[in-house]
A = this chain, B = another copy of it.
Amino acid sequence: MPAEPRTGRGRASRERIVESAAALFAERGVAATSLDEVLAAAGAGKSQLYHYFRGRDELVEAAVGHRCALVVAGLTQTLGEVATLAGLEQALAGFAAGYEQMGLPGCPIGSLAAEVAEHNEGARKQAAAAFDTWERLVARALERMRESGELRADASPATLATALLASLEGGMVLSQARKDPAPLHIALEAGLAQLRAHLA
């Protein structure tokens, strides 16, 4: 029974709410953010929220989807054209640098996913889909490396992409918990070493 916006004003209101929610959720965590805070940040009232969403859970789902779309868009830009190991290394280094500059928060998708996975199936699926896309972007880059002969023909882009993503994700978890960028760098270097082992 949640209404789709039918006017420009409505669409703008809904969007402001979702964006404010996504920003606050990313900054403070989903559970630590109240609807009132979201509404205050968006300059909207309760009635707008409940006009567009069935309740809190549906807003969380929308906000997680929004944030995932943003992150995926950035990743697509960074990884979309990568076709060499050097290019991939550069992209990952850039990602790690950006992450460090934020003061070692969790992974922009992973943290949301972990917090939401057990409480909100819809939001969990959004995060899972974002991981799928991320992984596929890496796999495509590896496929291009294989086609160009840089990567051996018997290497599996999909498997290597999963492993690399896991290293990255795990590195971020360790770095966040320790407040130390070193684990991420080590994990990333190890993931790349794994890749190098499959070069032609």
Which A positions have Cβ atoms within 8 angstroms of B? Answer: 28-29, 31-32, 105-107, 110-111, 113-115, 117-119, 124, 127-128, 131-132, 159-160, 162-163, 165-171, 173-174, 176-179, 182-184, 186-187, 189-191, 193-194, 197
Q: Chain B residues with Cβ under 8 A from A189's Cβ?
A: 163
> Chain B's nearest CB lies how many Å from the CB of A90?
21
Q: How far is the CB of A184 from chain B (nearest CB, A)?
A: 8
Q: Kindly state the separation between the CA atoms of A102 and B160 in the bound complex, as whole angstroms.
A: 26
List the number of copies, as a whole number: 2
Contacts of A183 in B (CB 8 A): 162, 166
A119 touching B186, Cβ below 8 Å: no
A78 to B184 Cα, complex, angstroms: 26
Cα–Cα distance between A34 and B155 once the two chains are bound (Å):
50
Given contacts A128-B178, A163-B167, 5 further A-B contacts (CB under 8 A): A31-B31, A113-B176, A115-B115, A165-B170, A166-B167
A177 CB contact (under 8 Å) in B114, B176, B194: B114
Nearest CB in chain B to that of A163: its residue: B190
For A106, A167, A173, A193, the residue with the greatest tally of chain B CB atoms inside 10 Å of its CB is A173
Residue pair A187, B162 in contact (C-beta under 8 Å): yes
Q: List 30 A-B contacts (CB under 8 A).
A: A29-B31, A29-B115, A29-B119, A31-B32, A106-B117, A107-B173, A110-B114, A110-B173, A110-B177, A111-B114, A113-B173, A115-B115, A124-B177, A131-B177, A131-B178, A160-B190, A162-B183, A162-B190, A163-B167, A163-B186, A163-B187, A166-B167, A166-B171, A166-B183, A167-B190, A169-B173, A169-B174, A170-B170, A170-B187, A197-B197
CB atoms of B174 and A166 under 8 A apart = yes
